Chains A and B, each alone.
Chain A
Amino acid sequence: MNNRRIQIRVAAVLALTLVVHLTVLSRVRIDDVRPDALLLVAVIAGLVAGPDRGAVVGFAAGALGDLFLQTPFGLSALVYCLVGFAVGSLQAGILRAAWWIPVTTALGASIAGTVLYALVGAMVGQSGFVSARLLVVALLVGAMNAVLAPAAVRLLEWSFPR
């Protein structure tokens, strides 16, 4: 499959994710915490397609999300591209495709990504991003993203066929 087709499919997946993230998932809240589908796409893109494409998809997903936030533009893009890259680098050794690998990866990487987001946010001057509640938020995002992980794997394997 050529690059052009891949680009179109990735764009379609990103558009779908953004719509789902801003509409349906806004209604899903546990203890006032919602899942982060855009972070999930970055994680699974790294897992499915490696560090290079993980970083690019993470950057694009973050930048799309930033359009709808009051935080400085580029904050999510920076963090999600690092997350996509990190997951892609770590998965390189794993070849077995067990069902639990994406789920646990989504859990761990979403927790790490949320904490990283708060830390970088605090660094660029966002008050109150790092607090005692951060851990609760990160764990809940991780758990909800883990549940959504199998669906994200389906979508991204369609975008990046082997």
Chain B
Amino acid sequence: MAVYRRPARTRFTLLLLVLTSITLLTLDYRGAGSGAIATVKNGARDAFAPVQRTSDKVFEPVGSFFGGIVHYGDLKAENDRLRQENADLRGDVASSDDARRQLQELQDSLKLEGTEDVPRVDARVVSTSPSNFAFTVEIDRGTNAGVAVGMPVRTGAGLVGRIVTASRNRAVVQLLTDKDFSVGIKLSTSGDIGVANGRGSLRSLDVDLIDPATVVEKDEKVVTSGLQQSQFPPGIPVGTVKSSTSRPGALQQDVAIEPYVDLRRLTFLTVLQWSPK
């Protein structure tokens, strides 16, 4: 058996490449060159936008064709369920109009902040995260449409996440289940406040700082607290309590909540042009 001997040039190439990447990593990490790397990243994202649009047009019908065949039965069942839900919601809308008017009057008289009159930008989701280690989606609106880093993102159902990158025509939304995401929340029944943290799964969030004495019910509604310095305005629905356990001697309960929004099937999102006061 011949012994393979590595030529010296190879090791030199590897060394050069490793040193280059470590240099780039350090530069980006320190934000040196007044964000030169960020500028390049934003440029790449904007440049890629037309390619993405074209490919979506080409592949969308293929996806929905196969989806249609496989899930026909499911779709029929879902249709029936949605029709029922629609009827229920129509009833709710009628009663909520009155409630909303009352809320508005009370907020006005108490000078409380609501999210009703925050300007908003509607956007469409164009792609999901290219990485398996981040929970993000990309939307088709950027700084040109008034989207900026830090803005909260929601759908009609509830909180989706926040903007982490914004280039001219594109922005990246960090979903509330991302490991780096946290939001101040309030339990709707007890009024107890806590902090919900993403944990890298699309299905649930963990809540910290809930007092062991608080009674937490299953399916209790959870909304953003919007306390001082909060990254989010108050009252955005976050999810429902999935489970809560309090271990003896612990300083807080283990509460898990399930987001209202189905994060696997995001299509249209609303960016709230809101920033912490």
Contacts and interface: CB of A to CB of B under 8 A. Distances in A.
A129 to B, nearest CB: 6
B197 to A, nearest CB: 10
A72 B24 CA distance: 8
Most central of A63, A68, A92, A141 by chain B CB within 10 Å: A68
Contacts of A127: 179-180
A8 interface: no
B130 A51 contact: no
B132 A36 contact: yes
Interface in A30-51: 32-34, 36, 50-51
B23 to A, nearest CB: 8
Contact size range, B: 35 or more
B194 to A, nearest CB: 19
Contacts of A67: 40-41, 44-45
Contacts of B180: 127-128
B10 A52 contact: yes
A41 B18 CA distance: 18
Interface stretch (A18-26, A98-106, A154-162): A18-26
A114 B133 CA distance: 10
B14 interface: yes
B56 A81 contact: no
A50 B9 CA distance: 12
B29 interface: yes
Interface in B1-30: 1, 4, 6-7, 9-10, 13-14, 17-18, 20-25, 27-29
Nearest to B51: A19
Interface in B74-95: none
A87 B73 CA distance: 46
B104 interface: no
A20 to B, nearest CB: 9
A82 B132 contact: no
Contact of B24 (A68, A74, A114, A125): A74
B212 interface: no
Nearest to A35: B132
B214 interface: no
A44 to B, nearest CB: 18
B41 A51 contact: no
Most central of B13, B23, B28, B132 by chain A CB within 10 Å: B132
A74 B28 contact: yes
Contacts of A62: 21
Interface in A63-121: 63, 65, 67-75, 77-78, 81-82, 85, 89, 92-93, 114, 117-118, 121
B131 interface: yes
B201 A81 contact: no
7 contacts: A23-B52, A34-B128, A51-B14, A69-B131, A74-B22, A77-B21, A128-B200
